Amino acid sequence: MASVFEPFLLSLVAGMATGIGGIIAIALRKVTHRVVSFSLGFASGVMLLVSFNNLFFEAQKLLSHIELIVMFSLGALMMIALDLTIPHIEITAGGKISKNAEMLRTGKLIALGITLHNLPEGLVVAAGYTYMPRLGLIIAIAIMLHNIPEGLATAIPLTEAGMKPIKIALITLLSGLAEPLAALVGALALSFIGTTTIVGFSLVFAAGVMTYITADELIPVAHEYGYKHTVSVSLLVGIIFALLIDVILS
């Protein structure tokens, strides 16, 4: 059962990173837009590198080109459908909402959105770990680094609305706990039906999920804070960081 509980624990750590983002927002009280922009750009670089250099690359060894295209597209399409129905971090772009009541509503909506978006991220960790434990660890690190700015995005409007710090910390922490639950379900399912083809499907599906999250959420929101060069540099730094992690874990 180690192959089930280890991805659960990895995803638990990654999911709890939203709480870290919330604590940072509480501790600093006023997080500058440049800091948020840099953290989103950095997370984008890590997510893109892992999506293609790890997930897609490994899936290529197991699937045909048509299967890769179909499953990658399905992963992205699932996230598009989720985004059309559930609001996410785009709501906070630029921090333009000023009324306390609206700030409070915004923070709660973002927390709900992050909770639901974390479900497929948990499955991503499970798929990667089932195929190769090292790959699961790399994915968990990437998602953890992406969850920290998401925690910031949740906490900032709640802080400005005057919510108590302990409540903000709990909301941001709990919003990440959907991730390990999904990882546990995914790991259990793959342990029973984990054929080579199914694992390959899971890997490239996960690549589609992570690519869409990066392209639709992280990069656009990072740019809306107005620091174009900061985003570009931090994205490159994120890619280099992910490459170094890959080498170290090899």
How many CB atoms neighbour CB 34 within 10 A?
14
Q: What is the pLDDT of residue 74?
A: 94
Q: How far is CA 101 from the centre of its chain?
A: 27
Q: Is the model's pTM score more than 0.95?
A: no
Pick from 116, 102, 250, 248: which is nearest to 174 by CA?
Answer: 116
3: Cα separation from own chain's centroid? 22
Tokens 């490994």 locate to: 58
pLDDT tens digits, residue range 161-220? 777 888 888 888 887 787 888 888 888 888 787 678 888 898 899 899 889 888 887 888
Among residues 238, 247, 74, 31, the alpha carbon closest in space to that of 146 is found at: 238
Model confidence at 230: pLDDT above 80: yes
Distance CA 213, CA 194 (A): 26
Q: In whole angstroms, what is the distance from residue 228 CA to residue 41 CA?
A: 10
CB-based contact 14:179 (threshold 8 Å):
yes
